[in-house]
Amino acid sequence: MNLENPYILLTPGPLSTSPTVRQAMLRDWCTWDDDYNLGVVTPIREGLIALATSTRPQDYTTVLMQGSGTFSVEAMIGTAVPRDGRLLVLANGEYGNRLGRIAITLGIDTIIHDSGELAPPDLGKLDAELSGDPTITHVVCVHNETTTGMINPLEAIAHIVKRHERIFLVDSMSAFGGMPLDVAELGIDFLVSSANKCIQGVPGFGFVIARISELQKCKGRSRSVSLDLYEQWQGMEKGKGKWRFTSPTHVVRAFAQAMTELQEEGGVAARYARYSENQRRLVGGMESLGFRCVLPHSLHSPIITGFYNPESPDYDFMKFYELLKEKGFVIYPGKVTGIDSFRIGTIGHVFPEDIDRLIVAISQSMYWVKTEAEVAALA
Ligand SMILES: *Cc1c(COP(=O)(O)O)cnc(C)c1O
């Protein structure tokens, strides 16, 4: 069997996985015996806590949840915020807006601070709002806003939220495992991520790292049966790794392999270094070809980068996309409102040499650059 992919995915996520992660899915598992629950699920739960905090692992637990990442976000918000709670959402992109939409749909009393897609959250406004409104019980933000690749100032936000003693929820979907952090040091109460982002598993479940003392208060709060984080946690604790409803066994086994490979690479610090080098080479190469980044470099994460589409009337994104796909690379359309752009992810089983090959492939796919003056302008 050929386990090679026809192209690498520069689309986080799903993203490119290693052949060994994909291979780990090639057997079936029984969900109610120890081979699976103690042998696969429990080490994953423990391993995720170790990734999340080295300072106070005993204060935290991990709950795994079926579905894509958004399902876990919805489980986290719908379980953590009580009926009489009030949630402040910091939004600066599609994923921040989604947090707000989920909360409102669940009937949660919600305030949204939208700083726009190109600006970081307004920390002064956050501080003032928390000072002036003691009824706000919870604050939620996105860590890496995947819409633009903006890294939000998690430490500064955490500092303000904790000074005002509110519960702090973080959507670290596209950063956790690829960027160092310590949930205990930051005072994060709930953090959500999923299998198919920086840990480089395949899609099918998400997980929430939760402060045990806060999760214990959440019994009966959930607005949903299947997305009840508290009941899911109780099921996993009492069943020693057993999922309440059918577990995505093959995906979970692949994730266990992905966790092993993260350790083999040298842990989160080494992965962060690789992603950073990927992104540095991407931006250097793209700028040398005349492309411009949507965000200033100072606001950038190493996860995904937005570029303006070329202004030439001959340029068409789909044509460019197809040419790159033929050469073995799949890129992402843009998502920023009002800005004509595309995105390239630098996470997954993707290495600096792949990025160098990508830049060559892009230079050979710039069919809209025709005149000598245009070519000269690129130099
Ligand atoms: C990927 C992602 C999600 C979840 O998206 P799904 O498509 O549901 O997996 C949520 N937030 C952020 C910031 C993401 O990057």
Structure tokens, 21: 């992660």
**pLDDT-based confidence at 90, cuts 50/70/90?**
very high
Please name which of 137, 150, 177, 154 lies closest in space to residue 95, comparing C-alpha atoms. 150
pLDDT tens column, 242-273: 999 999 999 999 999 999 999 999 999 999 99
Q: Report the separation in Å between the CA atom of 51 and the middle of ligand 1, taken as the mean of its atom positions.
A: 19
pLDDT at 167: 98
Query: What is the reported pLDDT for 337?
Result: 83
Closest ligand 1 atom number to CA of residue 70: 8
Task: Looking at the CA of residue 172, tell me the nearest atom of ligand 1.
Answer: 13
8 vs 31: CA distance, rounded Å: 32
- Give the homologous superfamily in CATH for domain 267-377: Aspartate Aminotransferase, domain 1 (3.90.1150.10)
* Percent of the chain whose predicted confidence (pLDDT) is above 70: 97
Task: Name the one residue in this structure whose structure tokens are 């040398």.
Answer: 288
Mean pLDDT of the chain: 96
Among 194, 196, 202, 304, the mutation site with the greatest number of ligand 1 atoms within 8 A of its Cβ is 194
% of the chain exceeding 90 in pLDDT: 93
- For residue 171, is pLDDT > 90? yes
At 379 the pLDDT is 60
Does ligand 1 have an atom closer than 6 angstroms to the CB of 21? no
Fold of 19-265: Aspartate Aminotransferase; domain 2 (3.40.640)
Residue 191 pLDDT grade (very low, low, confident, very high; cuts 50, 70, 90): very high
pTM to 2 decimals?
0.96
Question: What is the pairing mode between strands 138-142 and 86-91?
Answer: parallel
The gap from C-alpha 154 to its chain's centroid, in whole angstroms, comes to 14
pLDDT exceeds 80 at position 184: yes
Residues of the chain with CATH 3.90.1150.10: 267-377
State whether the beta carbon of 72 lies less than 6 angstroms from ligand 1.
Answer: no
pLDDT at 33: 86
Mutate to test the pocket of ligand 1, among 11, 94, 143, 173 (most ligand atoms within 8 A of CB): 173
- Our answer on whether the CB atom of 69 is closer than 6 Å to any ligand 1 atom is yes
Q: Which amino acid is at 53?
A: T
Q: Whose CA is nearest to atom 9 of ligand 1?
A: 69
Q: What mean pLDDT comes out for the span 282-298?
A: 96
Q: What is the pLDDT of residues 23-74, one digit of tens each?
A: 999 999 998 889 999 999 999 999 999 999 999 999 999 999 999 999 999 9
pLDDT digits 0-9 by tens, 111-160: 999 999 999 999 999 999 999 999 999 999 999 999 999 999 999 999 99
* Ligand 1 atom, smallest distance to 143 CA: 13
Q: How far is CA 221 from CA 118, 181, 187, 250, in A?
A: 35, 28, 22, 31
Name the one residue in this structure whose structure tokens are 């910091």: 90
Locate CATH 3.40.640.10 in the chain.
19-265
Residue with the smallest CA separation from ligand 1 atom 4 is 69
Is 174's C-beta closer than 6 angstroms to any atom of ligand 1?
A: yes
Q: How confident is the model at residue 193 (pLDDT cuts 50, 70, 90)?
A: very high
Distance 348 CA to ligand 1 centre (A): 15
3-class secondary-structure state, position 142: strand
What number is the average pLDDT over the span 296-313? 95
Quick one: average pLDDT of 212-218?
A: 98
The predicted structure's pLDDT at residue 3: 63
